[in-house]
A = this chain, B = another copy of it.
Amino acid sequence: MSGGDVDLAAVAGLIGDRTRSRMLVALLGGREISASLLADEAGVSPSTASGHLAKLVDGDLVAARTSGRHRHYRLASAAVAEVVERLVELAPAEEIGSLRASRRAAELRVARTCYDHLAGRVGVGLMHGLLQRGHLTGGDGGYEAAAAQRDAPASPGRDLDYRLTPGGQEFLDHLGVDLPQGRRALVRYCVDWTETRHHLGGRLGRGLRDRFLEAGWLEPRTTNRALRVTAEGRAVLAEEFGLDLSPS
């Protein structure tokens, strides 16, 4: 018998472990994270973490990249991120903490840091605004059609060539954004798991985040990596990026 049933259980079982699930959630940001950091995040010893990561890689849920003596892990595909996200939503309407947890989730959905740039509705909105105003060209600001084709490795985006226009440069000056120097790509994108769309990464993403924090348009929350949009921030987002945050 058997043979026929796909290994649903294997995949789910892989996710269904406290430690591994913590790692996956940590990786939901879309960024690579080193083994030791993941161990820390999950609260286990390096050796334990290593074992779990090996399993996750073996199960094709995460992918690894070796760089010197470090090893960086990332989710293997957008499909994985989506499944994890769905599972989180299915998670028990928890008794206590339910309120707290869902509030936190809501906060994260609005704005959060993702590595060194911005994600959530604000992160996606920034990119959308730049595209719509012609400050950024290439791609489509969505996560759709061509991009969504199955074979997309959905690793941190490099395939869609976004470029900053001259007008875009002016716009950034106007906002007071200071782009960090370096060999790092100016524009890179991440798939946003709460929005299923792209948000800005690269030096541009970094510069925007820095400016938004510096100007007090966004404020870090104490608890997590969620950010609070201030009144001025709301105004800037509306005026300069055409982003209306009112519906929740």
User: A: which residues have CB within 8 A of B?
Assistant: 1-18, 20-22, 24-25, 43, 59-61, 79-80, 82-94, 96-97, 100-101, 104-105, 109, 121, 142-145, 148-155, 194-197, 223-224, 247-248
Contact = CB atoms under 8 A, between A and B. Distances in A.
B17 A96 contact: no
Contacts of A83: 83, 86-87, 90
> What is the total number of copies of this protein in its complex?
2
Contact of A86 (B4, B79, B148): B79
Contacts of A93: 60
A210 to B, nearest CB: 25
A219 to B, nearest CB: 19
A153 B79 contact: no
Given A12-B12, A12-B15, A90-B83, A4 B101 contact: yes
20 contacts: A1-B43, A3-B96, A4-B100, A4-B224, A5-B22, A6-B91, A6-B94, A6-B101, A6-B105, A8-B15, A9-B16, A9-B20, A11-B87, A12-B13, A13-B16, A13-B17, A61-B90, A79-B89, A79-B90, A142-B145
